[in-house]
Structures are given as structure tokens and as C-alpha cells.
Amino acid sequence: MNLRPDQLAAQLERPLAPLWLLHGNEPLLVLEAADAIRAAARRQGFDERETLVVGHGFKWDALTLAAGNLSLFGGAKLIDLRIPTGKPGRDGGDALQRYIAHLPSQTLTLVTLPEVDWATRKTAWFKALADAATTLELDAPERERLPEWVAHRLAAQKQSAPREALAFIADHVEGNLLAAHQEILKLGLLHGEGALTLEQVQDAVLDVARYDIDKLRQAVIEGDPARCARLLEGLEGEGAAPPLVLWALAHETRSLATLCAGRDAGQPLATLFKAERIFDPRRQQAMTRALGRLGQGKLRAALMHAARIDRMIKGLASGDLWDEFLQLALRLARHG
């Protein structure tokens, strides 16, 4: 069954189909749909989850083993199969067809792919998968529909903006949905619920402090502790919004954690950079160097640190907020 993206929420309120397929040219939308399916699966009692990432050297027996390795306590299970290249190969195609023909009981299988080209759509394995699965194709909206997409996202966080403000955001991000998503989240952090003015949107998007925050992100990735300290001192002096500073540091930490997990699972960095929409060669080089000094353990600790700062911003924990920002930045930027 093929679903439109706007039909997903209603479908997730029903008992879940045993097989789901997500693919498309917009990684943000694929990721969000996958997150929604995983959350619905947890609500419906799929308490166990096993993630399989198809990379170099992946053994397709792992899929069969995952399906047969049910909990001793009889719980339902989610198998999260990710094929970042969209090319499972001959062995993988055969394994998928066998798996689809005999779907395991008490199991929900979620398969995620990138954009699928015309040649892949003609393969036997993809046809079998698309025919058997509840399928969503998640592509970026066309340029003329981007203001409407922004308006929908603002409405989800109980905000609205005039037509000219929506067009301003769309023009600013130039079709990059991840950038639009970040601007929308920023508006949610800086302003309360309700109607936004064009001036508020322009100030948020073009805020001079934003450039210093972008420099902070760059300093963290490039491993420059002294520059991190100077920039944070300047941001504090300018009265920069703490939620925005936290967003910048947490965003870099999550990106590095995603890259690190994918790399450790055997995925090529080129594929991971594309999924994370990191196209600038200088940034790719800086991220590669950062991964050389930061492992999954350090990145998990940094994410926990960011969560503690979030509690401080919300008044749920005490401490020196700007000192915590500095400690988090140094945790990410220091070598060794």
C-alpha cells in the first residue's frame, strides 16, 4: 500500500502493518517518518528493536537471525533495516525476497532507503518489497510549495507567520529542508506561541549573533578550544539566547554521533555526509578530523552534558550556564 506523507499520522493510530518501506530524496523527511513509525511501534508493544545497517561486509544472514531471535519473554520486535546506498547487491536482493515471502510473526520490519533511481525500481527485490510493504516516498517539496511546508511546520509548534515571512524563509534556505527546519526550530526557541511578524522572522534569520554562533560551531568541529572560549565570551556579552547556543552545540554533537555510529557500522563517510547534507569539502574534512579525536563514548557523554544544560535553561537544574557551555565546547574541541 502506498501512502502519502500526510496520511502517515492517521495510519500510525491503527494496528501497524508488519512491513514498512521508506525512501526518497529528502533525508530529513525519511528520518522523521522513521522516528514516527518507531514511536508508534513502541506504543503498540514492540518493546525490542534491532538495527541493521547494510554496509561493506554486511552479512545478510543477520536479517534472518534477527527475525528468529525473539525475546525469551515473548515480546514483539522491531527490525530496523537501513540500506544507505540503496543497493543491497545480488545476495541482499535475494535475501530480501526470501524474507518478504516469509515475514516473521510478532515482528515489524522497517526498511529505509535513499532516493531510488529508475533502474532500482525495476529490480525484482524492490518490486517485491514495494508490493508487500506499506510504502512512503518522501521527496522534498517543489520550490513553489516550500512556503506552505514552512507554514505547516510553524503550525506544528503553534506559530504562524504572514505570507511574506514564509517566502522570506523559503528564499533564505534555497530549497534546503534541513536549513528550513533549523530556522523553524530557532523561531520556536526565540518566540512563544502565536503569530510572528515579518520583522521577527527577519531578525531571527539574519541575527548578527547567528554568525558568531556559526563560528562557534566551526571552532568546535575544527578543534580550536581557545577560539571556542573567545566566541562564547562574546556571545554571553551580546546577550545571545542560551537556547540558540545550546541548539548549535547539540546539533554538532548529534551530527558527529550519527557519523561516528555509521562509520563504525562500516558505512562510507561519503554516503554519511550526503545523508547529513554536509556537502562543503572544508566542513567534510573538519568533521573527518573531529571523528578522529571523538569516539562514540565521548559523544554520548557530550549529548548527556547537553541534556543537563537543557534542564538548566528550563530551570530544572542549577549551575553556571555559560561555564557549562564552555565545558561542553571544550569537551568537543580538545584533542586527546
- The per-residue pLDDT for range 3-16, each reduced to its tens digit, is 999 899 999 999 99
Q: Is residue 64 a contact partner of residue 99, using CB atoms and an 8 Å limit?
A: yes
Residue linked to cell 529508475: 118
Query: Any alpha helices (H) in 191-280, and if so which ranges?
Result: 198-206, 208-222, 225-238, 242-264, 269-275
DSSP type of residue 285: H
Global confidence as pTM: 0.63
Return left, alpha or beta for 278; rule: phi > 0 is left, psi -120 to 50 is alpha, else beta.
Answer: beta
Using CA atoms of 213, 218, 220, 224 in order, give the dihedral in degrees to the nearest 10.
Answer: -110
Residue 71 in this model has a pLDDT that exceeds 60: no
**CA proximity to 227, closest of 214, 238, 239:** 214
Listed by start position, the domains of the chain span 2-137, 143-206, 209-333
Q: What is the reported pLDDT for 176?
A: 76
Got the DSSP string for 142-188? PGGGHHHHHHHHHHHTTEE--HHHHHHHHHHHTT-HHHHHHHHHHHH
Task: List the grid coordinates of 301.
Answer: 557523554
Reported CATH class of domain 143-206 = mainly alpha
Position 94, amino acid: D
| Distance between CA atoms of residues 180 and 182, nearest Å | 5
Q: What is the reported pLDDT for 154?
A: 96
- Binned at pLDDT 50, 70 and 90, residue 144 comes out as confident
**CA proximity to 224, closest of 298, 293, 304:** 293
| Distance between CA atoms of residues 195 and 154, nearest Å | 10
Question: What are the pLDDT digits (tens) for 238-286?
Answer: 777 788 888 889 989 999 999 999 898 888 998 888 888 788 888 899 9
| Distance between CA atoms of residues 164 and 170, nearest Å | 10
Reported CATH class of domain 209-333 = mainly alpha
Domain 2-137 belongs in CATH node 3.40.50.300? yes
Q: Is residue 264 a contact partner of residue 292, using CB atoms and an 8 Å limit?
A: no
3-state secondary structure of 32: helix
Q: What is the reported pLDDT for 208?
A: 47
CA 267 to chain centre: 16
